[in-house]
Amino acid sequence: MATSKYTTLDVKRKTLKINLDPGIYGTVAEIGAGQEVARSFFQAGGASGTVAKTISAYDMTMSDAIYGDAPKRYVCLPRLDQMLDYEFDQLTTTLASKQKEKRFFAFADTVEAINYSRTNRCHGWMGVRFQDGENEEFNEVVIHIRMLDNDNPTQQQAIGMLGINLIYGCYFHSNEPKTLITSLMDNFAPGRIQIDMVRFTGPVFKNVDNRLMSLFLVKSNYADAVMFTPEGTSIHPTELLYKKDILALRGRFRPVTHVHMDMLENSKKMFEKDPKVDPKKVVCITEITLDDLSGSDDIDEKDFLDRVDLLGELGQTVLISNFQEYYKLATYLTRYNTGAQIGIVLGANSLINIFNDKYYKKLNGGLLEAFGQLFHKDVRLYLYPYKFRKELITTDNMLIPDHYDYLFKYLISNGKIIDFDEHNAENLHIFSHKVLELIEEGKDWESLVPKRIAIKIKEQELFKYKAKLIEK
């Protein structure tokens, strides 16, 4: 569903509209990038009818005394949840009987702004817990952001603008979640922030599917990628990948087959044998590459959810991205686990494409620049063999362009490209697109996919299963 058109207001007009609404009343708690949201309220005028309290507990000991000990670190989702719990409970407990006809809100953010040396990863969590009506159960919108400005003052400004946009969206666009998300980017020039996780909860959002909202983020170019747990819950990579070793398999998984599972299981055995990898800290990811999302209104949302659900049925964590090239996936993963190890699993036919110059025409350094990012010091590729007619294609007999032959051999000799130790030869004839054709034609396909997947496809009539059987 497309978002409806709305009038874009500047930050001051949004803030003033909130301030002049006699029913909106709440608390603003900010840590990490000044008190820009609170300042916007006071600068606009009329804030005495809106702001019950502002707070900025920068000292860690003071912050712990107010909100409790930080779960893992101070810029994380559990910390934001603690802040929202405390501030909203204190607000409603203290003022509910004294401030009649109020729709209370608690805004909170915990942010890591750019440091003096400009060496840190600038990101943060931001959320609003709010009442849609007097004495009603609260609703909540939580987002994770990346700040891309190169200096502290402009990052602070961005936090102030985004905070006002979020509070305004909760009160004036809550009936259309996609419009609410779109409005978060009001007054921002491209390239200043990314929103790569969103969570809607509460009675106002009871019909909202957070997975579709995550898809909307990628489709709208607000995020490079979004992630889901096996249960289908939206999760941010910082909550899952922090200090973990990552093994990733990409594909469209339409549907997931025995080959995919063989690739994951056998590469995981190899990955865990690596002396630099801690087997207890390995996280496996299946990445669905949807590089044609941007600008298209024809994305089959049901098909998207079906594939996420099927992978979840097999216990897989799912990453949805718009990465066409492998080096972009590697760059993304290294962003979240500095110093840990990364393995990317791919078929031999895909590796041949990686050595094709046509994919790197937009890079000044061409293929060499892309490989500099792909083959990060902690990244290696695990190569699953490809059967071409009667020949098994591995690194030993792969046809690489002559001018890259020395580079190819260098990567192999330095352990950057590694052939599989084991594979199930009986699976090499299975390709997802062929299985999909068999399903659509109503022909035998069940033996080509995991049993649980076959059951789900039949029960839920996925991939046109029922339609083709009726025609037959």
- Going from the C-alpha of 386 to that of each of 21, 231, 283, 393, the distances in angstroms are 64, 32, 25, 5
3-state DSSP: the chain helix, strand, coil percent, rounded to 5? 45, 20, 35
Q: Which domain covers residue 437, as residue numbers?
A: 432-471
Return the exposure string of 242-255: e unless at least 16 CB atoms fall within 10 Å of the residue's CB, then b. Answer: eebbbbbbbbebbb
**In this structure, are 85 and 183 located in the same domain?**
yes
> Residue 7's pLDDT is what?
81
Please say whether the beta carbons of 385 and 394 come within 8 A: yes
Three-class SS state of 144: strand
Three-class SS state of 390: coil
Dihedral angle over CA of 120, 125, 126, 130, nearest 10: -170
Residue with tokens 């800290």: 281
**In this structure, are 56 and 181 located in the same domain?**
yes
Residue 359 and residue 106: Cα distance in Å, rounded? 47
- Going from the C-alpha of 35 to that of each of 140, 189, 206, 231, 314, the distances in angstroms are 21, 22, 32, 37, 45
**Would residue 229 count as lying in a domain?**
no
Identify the CATH number of the domain in which residue 269 sits.
3.40.50.620
> Residue 327's pLDDT is what?
94
Please say whether the beta carbons of 247 and 400 come within 8 A: no
Residue 224 gets which letter from DSSP? Answer: S
Please say whether the beta carbons of 407 and 354 come within 8 A: no
- In the sheet that holds 51-55, the strands lie side by side as 51-55, 24-31, 103-112, 123-131, 138-147, 193-201
Residue 368 and residue 416: Cα distance in Å, rounded? 15
**In this structure, are 286 and 318 located in the same domain?**
yes
Residue 451 and residue 429: Cα distance in Å, rounded? 18
Residue 202 gets which letter from DSSP? Answer: S
Q: Is 95 exposed, middle or buried (0-12, 13-18, 19+ CB in 10 A)?
A: middle
405: which 2 tokens?
């032959």
Identify the CATH number of the domain in which residue 170 sits.
3.90.950.20
**Would residue 277 count as lying in a domain?**
yes
Number of domains in the chain: 3
Closest CA to 110 of 32, 218, 19: 32
Residue 265 and residue 113: Cα distance in Å, rounded? 40
pLDDT tens digits, the chain, 472 residues: what are they? 445 567 889 999 999 999 999 999 999 999 988 899 999 999 999 999 999 999 999 899 999 999 999 887 899 999 999 999 999 999 999 998 888 889 999 999 999 988 877 778 899 999 999 999 988 999 999 999 999 999 999 999 999 999 999 999 999 999 999 999 999 999 999 999 999 999 999 999 999 999 999 999 998 999 999 999 999 888 999 888 888 999 999 988 999 999 999 999 999 999 999 999 999 999 999 999 775 444 445 567 788 889 999 999 999 999 999 888 999 999 999 888 767 899 999 999 889 889 999 999 999 999 999 999 999 888 999 999 998 888 999 999 999 999 999 999 999 999 999 999 999 999 999 999 999 999 999 899 999 999 999 999 999 999 988 654 444 4
Please say whether the beta carbons of 219 and 225 come within 8 A: no
**In this structure, are 33 and 135 located in the same domain?**
yes
**In this structure, are 413 and 452 located in the same domain?**
no
**In this structure, are 137 and 200 located in the same domain?**
yes
**In this structure, are 411 and 462 located in the same domain?**
no
**In this structure, are 35 and 166 located in the same domain?**
yes
Q: What single letter denotes the amino acid at residue 102?
A: K
Q: What single letter denotes the amino acid at residue 72?
A: K
**In this structure, are 337 and 449 located in the same domain?**
no
Domain final position from 160, 188, 208: 208
Main-chain dihedrals φ then ψ at residue 347, nearest 5 degrees: -80, 160
**Would residue 2 count as lying in a domain?**
no
Instruction: Record the pTM.
Output: 0.89
Closest CA to 291 of 320, 249, 334: 320
> Residue 45's pLDDT is what?
92
> Residue 292's pLDDT is what?
47
**In this structure, are 396 and 328 located in the same domain?**
yes
**Would residue 5 count as lying in a domain?**
no
Main-chain dihedrals φ then ψ at residue 27, nearest 5 degrees: -120, 145
Quick check: bond before 177 cis, omega within 30?
no
